[in-house]
Amino acid sequence: MKTYLRHQRGRTGINIVWIIVNVLLYTGTSVLLTFTTNAIFSRDMKALLLWSAINLAVWGTFLISNYFQAVFQEKLTQRIMIDVRDTISRMIVGSSYAQYHKQTTGEYLSEYVNDVGNIESNAIKNLFSLLSDGTTVVFATIALAAYHLLFIPMILFLSILMLKIPSRLGKPMTVATTEMSKGNAAFSNQVTNVLNGFDVLLNANKLSKLQELVKTAAKRYAEVKVSYTKTNARISNSIAALSIFCQVMVDIMTSILAILGAIPLGAISSTGSIAASIFNSLSSLSNDAVQIKATHPLFDKVIQGSSNSARARESTQEPAFQHALKVIDLSYSINGNKILDHLNLTFERGGKYAIVGRSGVGKSTLLKILDGQITDYTGHVYIDDQDLRTMTMTALTKISQYVDQNVYLFNDSVANNTSLWANKQKSGDSLQQALLKAKVDFVKSSDQMIEENGQNLSGGQKQRLALARFFYSPKPIAFVDEGTSALDAETARQVTKQFLNDPDMTLIEVSHHLDAQLKGAYDQVINLGA
């Protein structure tokens, strides 16, 4: 949390000073009650009206200041939340393919929404609340001491009780918060999983299963929420009960001192209000401290993930591809089942290679190994003299691109889906050339909107946009995994020729049905499992 506060140190400093000013104004309203009450006891109408007017003026100043401070604090809080979410994004950007896919989309979404929301409400906002409460305790104690010094030892003793007892409740709250975070992630993941399968359930006439599955997930989530609320309420009520006890003790002390004539009778109205401020603030302070401590695992998760990703981004060499991509003694197994066995291949720069073979023989697996998506293989893959394992995905994707048969399109324009948000002025001609090469002839303009994951397009149209994405920013190595499988034969042939006719491009293509007319254009057809 310190990292984010330091990043916003200027605004944080202003907010802290503003909080102190507001606390001074609020404490002042309680002290002014003494003068108002004294005027009542002395039957002095003029003094009563004067002190009442002053009190109203202070209240008005406090309320106006409090409004603008609340708005300023919310802007500051949201700046910090942007920084936290940016840390999560940095973690994702720095992840390898394998690292990223250790979690589901639902779990990442839960981090952005639920974990960050938890940090916002239970850490950042509670921190400012804690500062306000702490300042209130200090100024209110000084105000009570001004009435009589006996209040000081009493307040100190009761304050120790208020702070000591709740601190023992911190561990259960930390556990409850961690479980809540896991519950949020699980629920988001389960609902995302079910909603993504809407079309499958619809076609199978089992849409009622969607409601059933979400309801089951909601029940599990409800149990986690109830458990969290039980722990939170138990702690909050324990602190509140202690606060009430302490306030009653101060009221008794005030009454005794007033009866003995040690303090003015008007102090009765002020000390009660001031004592309430002290112990309500201590109560809130204790609860805030427990809540803040409980969010430490969330900060640890975000910061640790970001650090790991930063290390993953480090590359030993700048990427280069001048000669060949070599596969040496490559083997790969899944659950003891040998997929690739001591494979040796060489792909020369500028060469055109087709990988064919029966289903399940490991064609796509080989392509994913070459692309760096799969790393737990034995043997070696070299790009020139550099071992693929020493290269990060950032380095590898500078010289290669993977064209998958499973296409994802963003809910954005054709232009942004193709160029991935490149500058429009710079991308104009390149964009049109890419769309032309991929035979994207079904859109009226590059500003036409694509629905989420291309729901308003056919499979072939989606695939052509994915190919246009490659042609817009071609790389020296093209890994194409059934990249034209959803296209009609003639369109697929024309698009494939774009790859084959580029002398500088190294094409490594996986195909179940290699076009007989183009077979001779490949430098080598590799039949896996033959």
pLDDT tens-place string over residues 65-120: 999 999 999 999 999 999 999 988 888 877 778 888 888 888 888 888 888 998 99
Taking only the tens place, the pLDDT of each residue in 195-209 is 877 767 776 777 788
Q: Which two tokens stand for residue 158?
A: 């009761």
Mean predicted lDDT score pLDDT of the chain = 87
Instruction: Return phi, psi of residue 247, to 5°.
Output: -65, -40
Say whether pLDDT at 313 is over 80.
no
Higher pLDDT, 512 or 311: 512
If residue 166 lies in a helix (H) or strand (E), which one and from where to where?
helix 151-167
Pairing of strands 378-383, 386-387: antiparallel
- The yes-or-no answer to whether 2-308 and 324-527 have a common fold is no
Q: Are 144 and 254 in contact (CB under 8 A)?
A: no
Q: Give the residues across from 340 on adjacent strands.
A: 332
pLDDT above 90 coverage of the chain, percent: 43
pLDDT above 70 coverage of the chain, percent: 94
Residues 6+ apart with CB under 8 A from 35: 47, 51, 266
User: How far is the CA of 396 from the CAs of 418, 466, 509, in angstroms?
Assistant: 20, 19, 18
Range 495-509 average pLDDT = 95
Q: Are 21 and 136 in contact (CB under 8 A)?
A: no
Q: Which two tokens stand for residue 152?
A: 């000081």
List the chain domain ranges: 2-308, 324-527
Handedness of CA 171, 174, 179, 182 (dihedral sign): negative
For the whole prediction, is pTM greater than 0.85? no
User: How far is the CA of 442 from the CAs of 436, 448, 473, 523, in angstroms?
Assistant: 11, 10, 21, 33
Residue 407 corresponds to which amino acid?
V
Range 370-389 average pLDDT = 92
Q: Are 2 and 83 in contact (CB under 8 A)?
A: no
Higher pLDDT, 3 or 518: 518
117-121, 429-433, 520-524 — most confident range: 520-524
Say whether pLDDT at 311 is over 50.
no
Residues 6+ apart with CB under 8 A from 503: 350
Closest to 279 measured CA to CA, from 256, 245, 310, 253: 245
Q: Please classify residue 426 by burial: count the beta carbons closer than 10 Å to its beta carbon, then call 0-12 exposed, 13-18 middle and 19+ buried.
A: exposed
- Three-state SS annotation for 189-244: HHHHHHHHCHHHHHHCCCCHHHHHHHHHHHHHHHHHHHHHHHHHHHHHHHHHHHHH
Say whether pLDDT at 307 is over 60.
no
Residues 6+ apart with CB under 8 A from 343: 327, 329, 330, 331, 366, 379
Say whether pLDDT at 502 is over 80.
yes
Residues 6+ apart with CB under 8 A from 233: none
User: What is the CATH topology of the domain spanning 2-308?
Assistant: ABC transporter transmembrane region fold (1.20.1560)
Higher pLDDT, 241 or 132: 132
pLDDT recorded at residue 71: 97
94-98, 286-290, 413-417 — most confident range: 413-417
CA 188 to CA 183: how far, in whole Å?
9
Please identify, in words, the CATH class of the domain defined by 324-527: alpha beta
End-to-end CA distance of the chain: 58
pLDDT recorded at residue 437: 93
Q: Are 228 and 177 in contact (CB under 8 A)?
A: yes
Say whether pLDDT at 228 is over 80.
yes
Instruction: Report the range of poorest mean pLDDT among 259-273, 428-442, 508-522.
Output: 259-273
